[in-house]
Each structure stands twice: as C-alpha cells, then as structure tokens.
Chains A and B, each alone.
Chain A
Amino acid sequence: MSLNEFWDYLVLGVVLGSIYAVIAIGYTLVYGVLQLINFAHSEVFMLGAYGGLISLTIIAPGDSPSALASVGYVALGLAAGGLFGAVTAYGLEKVAYRPLRRRGAPRLIFLITAIGASFFLYNLAGKLFGRDPLPMPDAYENKKVFTLFGADLNVTQLLLLGAAVVMMIGLDLMVNRTKLGSGIRAVSQDAEVAGLMGVDIDKVISRTFVIGGVLGGAAGYLYGTFTQVKFDMGFIPGITAFAAAVVGGIGNIRGAMLGGMMLGIVETLTVPVFGGEWRHVGAFVVLIGVLMFRPTGILGERVGRTA
C-alpha cells in the first residue's frame, strides 16, 4: 500500500467511522436507560435511508442544483431520515418494549422481541419498497473539494463527516447540559432513584428512543448517499455499530463515538492490506481483542447496573 493509498483509505475510514459512531450512539443510549440491546436499531437506520430517498424522490433535485439548493436538499434528506428514524424508534418503544416493561418481562424476552421487530421491519420494507437496491437521488454534484495529504476529499465525504460531527457534538451537549440530558443520565445510572427525584422514567425512555432514532435515521440517509438504499442495508452497519458501542463501553456515549471511529478505520484499512473479502473481519477482530483485555470496553466502567 502506497502512502497515497493509505491516506485515501484513512479518509474513507474516518467517514465510515463517523457514521458508525452516530449509529452506535443509538445503541448505547437505549442500553443506558433500558439495559436492552435494541437490535431493531438497524431498521431505524434503514427506514431513515428510505425516508431520505422518498423525500428526495418527491422533491426531485434537478441534474446540477446550485450550491444553495443542494444545501436545502441535503437538509431535507437529513430531516426526512431523522423523522422516519424517530417515528420508527418511538413506535418500537411504544408497541414492542413498553408492554414488556409493564409486565416486568425478563431481559431475554426483550432481546428476542428486538430481533423479532428487526425481522418484521426489514421484511415490511422489502414488501413496501421492493427488494432491489435503489440509488439515493443526488442532492448535489459530487465533486472533489480539496486534497489532503494526497487524498481527494469529495462533497459526499465532507458532508458525511460534517453532519456526523455536528450530530455528535449536539448530542453530547444535549446529554451533558440540558435537563432532559440529566434525566437520561440519571435513569441510566439508577432508574428507581431517578424516579424519586421526580424524573418521569417512561417519558425519558421514550425520548431517548426518539433521540437515538433521529441520529440513526439521519445516518441512514447519509449512508444511503454513498451506497444504495435497500431493505436489508441496516444489517451490517447495525451489527458493526453495535460492536462499536461494545468496544467503546456500552452505555458510554463518548465510548460509542470512539468505538465507531475505530471500527470504521480498521474496517477500511483492512481492505488494501488483506483484501476486500476481509473487510468485516477486521472490525470484529478488534472487538474480540478489546474485550479480551477490557471486558467492559475502552471507556466502560461497569457491567450491568452496579455502580
């Protein structure tokens, strides 16, 4: 691998990693408040991509939209993706998980329900939108913007990275600086005591799903712009982002960002070194390696509930 190639792949890795990071936040947030691995989060992501696709198909940007129009189209794609993701995540919590919570169902039942919901949603998407991949309508002309260390950066890469970074900063501020954020952190640490402080646990859980859904859905749109939109597109990024959340320390938001970035870079750099067929192996080797030395993940401090 030449140095130029290395920079190219590194840029790709950072871009992919930033998307994984945004998806991973969704897993880790929900895990924090419910101790649930929401396997249906990959479908939140997938439906977000369809949200972007549908809205941009209706609005239909022309062949070479002006820069200003492009910004509008991208914003539309992100908003529609976020909205679809939010609605899906909200519905999942309301329909699938809340009834289980009311009845005090064991952890395993939640997990099976999550997997079941995932199957249901992606088959539903296959039925509604067809099983063939669809290209995301271009919201902008994807040209080279500048060269960094010999790596060409194009509009898509900058958009993905920029949007992901903005979402991560926004989320971090929300969690650490707002009242809802305090509520989320308190419920994550001790839901019962959070209730004693006046935190409405149901409301916090519901809003946590919505926040994770907005991020996941918007990430779906972004991912769709550089691949394609397909009913089963959520599976691999979903599993990888889940692994990223675990690598970073599940329940820890900054850990999810770090893990996502790491796995994106490792996955991409695996391609020139070992070949494309090893792509997804790299990420999971990192997962196993990290867990061997730090079973709670890089930034994780605890297992389960114990403080």
Chain B
Amino acid sequence: MSTTTELQKESGGPVAVPLLELRGLRVAYGAIEALKGIDLTVGEGEIVALLGGNGAGKTTTLRTVSGMLTPRQGEVRLRGERIDGIKSHELVNFGIGHVPEGRRVFARMSVRENLEMGAYRFKGVDSADMDRVYTLFPRLAERRSQLAGTLSGGEQQMLAIGRALMSRPELLLLDEPSMGLAPLIVEQIFVIIREINEQGTTVLLVEQNATQALGLAQRGYVLETGSVAVSGPAQDLLADPRIRAAYLGEGAA
C-alpha cells in the first residue's frame, strides 16, 4: 500500500488525512472520569499501538470509538466526520470493526455462524469474505461446524478477528489480542494482523504487551490514568530507556 510507505517515511509526523481522529475526548463512568482529554490520530493504512497499564483508559478509548460509550466532551471523527454519539450497531456501517477484549465469541454458535454474525450488516453472506477469513485462519476452516465455545483461546481470538473482518472494516480496533495466549500463538496472531494491514485495513491496536505491539506498529501512544503520557514513532518509543522503564513494564536499566 502506497499510503503505508508514505506514512512510514514520515515516521509519525502529523498525518495528512487522518482516518480516525480523537480530539479532547473525555469519557466518564458516573463520577469517575476514565479519559481526561485524549488526542489521537490514526492515518489510513497505519497500525497504531495504544499502550498503558491496567485502568489507563485503553479499552475505554476503543469502546468510545465504536459507539459503545458516549463521550462527555470532545470529538471522534472518521474521515473528518463526527461519529461520536452514533450507536454501535449503526457505526458498523461506517467501516469500523471492533474485536473486543476477552474475544467474546458467541459460544453457543458454530464458527460459521459466528462469521455470519460478522456479516450481519449485509443482506447476505458473501462467500468471498468467508473464504478470505478461512485463508487467513485455516484452523477456523477446519473447525467451521464446531461450537465456538469449544475452541481454544487462540482459536477464539482468530474467530473474533475473523468475525470483525466479515463486516469489511476500514478500521479494525483490536483490544488485547494477545491476552492469555501462549507466546507462539501470539506471534502467529501478530503476523496475521500485519497481513490484514497489508491487505489495506487500518489497525488501532490496544496491548499490554508493549514491546511486541511496537514491533508491529508504526506509531504508538502511551496512556496513563486517562491521558496521553507519551506518543511518537514506534522505534523512538522502543528506544527510549526512560519510556521503557516507566511505561513498558521493564525495570530501570
């Protein structure tokens, strides 16, 4: 993708036409403010990592983008258009696919039915979409008639990603795809995320596993208690020893 390479050349500078733009985003659960004014942009074709510890506001950010939460203040823009306040079941038509934290596949539906649910916004299921998912994840093809609840954690994660792809998203929100998975499986999933990105889907990736996420992403944002603490090109974040020590869960070198 030409856009990807352009962005990589810019290595993290301001992006000309951001696909996703968050401006001064404030989100609260009752009296508790989870996001205290977040600014973030994701350019078309990018992979952007959203990092930070527990309770930093990563999941809240994703949930706000996909319409599950309504911001108290601030804006969410997709290709320049305000989308905050639009309900999640309508937002899927704007090209946002969300792979939620904890995978949350429909346990008592088969693999195939889960994928069909992903294509719910369309009149019928396009077999080309189905084939694409089965090509990315041959394991799912083998288990297409199996109930999703009987799959392993890694397979469920693959299914959750595949299900989101069925809606043909332009922007894929991934919430901790590595959670609770063996390192080998995590590696496989990260390879596939890169492949999905190379096929033209922009990715906003929430991760606790910062080193791995920054290895994949072009740019990163580190959240700390609801604010952006640091942001910049992935290599810079990875290289900065203070950042490694403070935010990426490593002891001071």
Contacts and interface: CB of A to CB of B under 8 A. Distances in A.
Nearest to B173: A196
Given A182-B116, A199-B120, A193 B106 contact: yes
B120 A197 contact: yes
A198 B167 contact: yes
Interface string A163-186: 000000000000000010011011
Contact of A198 (B104, B106, B113, B120): B120
Interface stretch (B52-60, B84-92, B210-218): B84-92
Given A198-B93, A307-B149, A193 B100 contact: yes
Given A185-B109, A186-B106, A189-B107, A194 B87 contact: no
A186 B93 CA distance: 18
Interface string B115-127: 0111011000000
Nearest to A200: B89
A21 to B, nearest CB: 21
Given A196-B100, A197-B121, A198-B120, A182 B113 contact: yes
B163 interface: yes
B108 interface: yes
B38 to A, nearest CB: 21
A200 B118 CA distance: 14
B149 A195 contact: no
B158 to A, nearest CB: 16
Contacts, number: 64
B68 A197 contact: no
A53 B116 CA distance: 43
A5 interface: no
Interface string B63-74: 000101000000
Interface in B147-180: 149, 163-164, 167
Given A179-B120, A193-B100, A185 B106 contact: yes
A141 interface: no
A246 B39 CA distance: 50
Contacts of A190: 104, 106
Interface string A20-50: 0000000000000000000000000000000
A265 B90 CA distance: 47
Interface in A183-220: 183, 185-186, 189-190, 192-201
A232 interface: no
B98 interface: yes
A33 to B, nearest CB: 14
Contacts of A193: 100, 104, 106
B113 A195 contact: no
Given A196-B98, A197-B167, A307-B149, A183 B120 contact: yes
Nearest to A189: B106
Nearest to B118: A197
B117 A197 contact: yes
A198 B68 contact: no
Interface string A272-301: 000000000000000000000000000001
**A contacts with B: majority SS:** helix
Interface in A29-80: none
B117 A194 contact: yes
B120 A195 contact: no
Nearest to A182: B117
A254 to B, nearest CB: 12
A195 B87 contact: yes
A196 B68 contact: yes
A186 B117 contact: yes
A196 B120 CA distance: 10
A199 B109 CA distance: 16
A197 B122 CA distance: 10
Contact of B120 (A182, A192, A201, A301): A182
A307 B109 contact: no
Contacts of B120: 179, 182-183, 186, 197-199
B68 to A, nearest CB: 6
Given A196-B164, A199-B89, 9 more contacts: A182-B116, A185-B109, A193-B106, A195-B68, A195-B88, A195-B89, A196-B66, A198-B92, A198-B121
26 contacts: A182-B113, A182-B116, A182-B117, A185-B106, A185-B109, A186-B106, A186-B117, A190-B104, A192-B68, A192-B88, A193-B100, A193-B104, A193-B106, A194-B117, A196-B88, A196-B92, A197-B92, A197-B120, A197-B167, A198-B89, A199-B117, A199-B120, A201-B89, A301-B108, A307-B107, A307-B108
Interface of B: 66, 68, 87-90, 92-93, 98, 100, 104, 106-109, 113, 116-118, 120-121, 149, 163-164, 167
Interface of A: 179, 182-183, 185-186, 189-190, 192-201, 301, 307
Would you list the 10 A-B pairs with minimal beta carbon distance, nearest first?
A198-B121, A307-B107, A198-B92, A195-B88, A197-B120, A198-B120, A189-B106, A195-B89, A193-B104, A197-B117
